[in-house]
C-alpha cells in the first residue's frame, strides 16, 4: 500500500477515537526499517487500546497488513507495527518520559503535528 494512503488511514483511525497530539515523523532518511513513526496520546489505558484496535481494523479493511502489536496488556503504551509505519499510542506521562519524537527527529521538517480536531486546535 502507498505510504501516503497508509498514513492517512492511520491518522483518520486515530482521530476517530479522539487521539490527542498526533505527530507524524518521516524516518525514511534515518532508518531502512520503516518510513514513518506516528505518535499519539490517549487519556486512559482503555482509550490507548481502542486507538490501537481501530488502527488495526482500518488498515486491514483497506487491505493493509498488521505485522505485530505490543503492549495491549497494560495499555500504557501500545505499538502497532504496520511495516512501513510504526504507530505508538501512549499515555501522556509515558510519552513525556520516553520522548520518542526527539529520538526520531533529525530536523524540524521531518516532524509534522496533525491538527487536533477533537479539541478544536489547529
Residue 113 lies in a domain: no
Per-residue pLDDT of the chain (122 residues; tens, 9 = 90+): 999 999 999 999 999 999 999 999 999 988 899 999 999 999 999 999 999 999 999 999 999 999 999 999 999 999 999 999 999 999 999 999 999 988 887 555 556 677 654 444 43
Residue 58 belongs to some domain of the structure: yes
Q: Does residue 119 lie within any of the structural domains?
A: no
Range of the domain at 40: 3-105
Instruction: Answer whether 41's CB lies under 8 Å from 19's CB.
Output: yes
13-34: pLDDT as tens digits: 999 999 999 999 999 988 899 9
- Cα–Cα distance for residue pair 48/52, rounded to 1 Å: 6
CATH number for 29 = 3.30.460.10
**CA pair distance 89, 117, nearest whole angstrom:** 17
Domain membership flag for residue 91: yes
- The model's pTM: 0.86
* Rg (alpha carbons) of the chain, rounded to whole number: 13
- Alpha-carbon distance 84 to 27, whole Å? 10
**Number of domains into which the chain is organized:** 1
- Note whether residue 76 is domain-resident: yes
In a domain, 97, yes or no: yes
Q: Please, what sign has the CA dihedral across residues 83, 70, 57, 113?
A: negative
Amino acid at each position: 500500500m502507498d505510504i501516503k494512503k497508509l498514513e492517512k488511514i492511520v491518522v483518520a483511525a486515530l482521530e476517530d477515537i479522539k487521539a490527542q497530539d498526533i505527530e507524524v515523523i518521516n524516518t525514511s532518511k534515518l532508518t531502512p526499517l520503516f518510513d514513518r513513526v506516528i505518535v499519539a496520546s490517549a487519556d486512559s489505558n482503555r482509550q490507548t487500546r481502542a486507538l490501537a484496535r481501530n488502527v488495526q481494523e482500518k488498515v486491514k479493511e483497506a487491505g493493509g497488513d498488521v505485522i505485530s502489536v505490543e503492549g495491549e496488556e497494560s495499555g500504557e503504551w501500545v505499538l502497532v507495527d504496520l511495516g512501513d509505519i510504526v504507530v505508538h499510542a501512549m499515555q501522556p506521562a509515558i510519552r513525556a518520559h520516553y520522548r520518542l519524537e526527539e529520538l526520531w527527529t533529525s530536523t524540524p521538517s521531518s516532524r509534522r503535528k496533525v491538527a487536533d480536531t477533537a479539541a478544536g486546535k489547529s
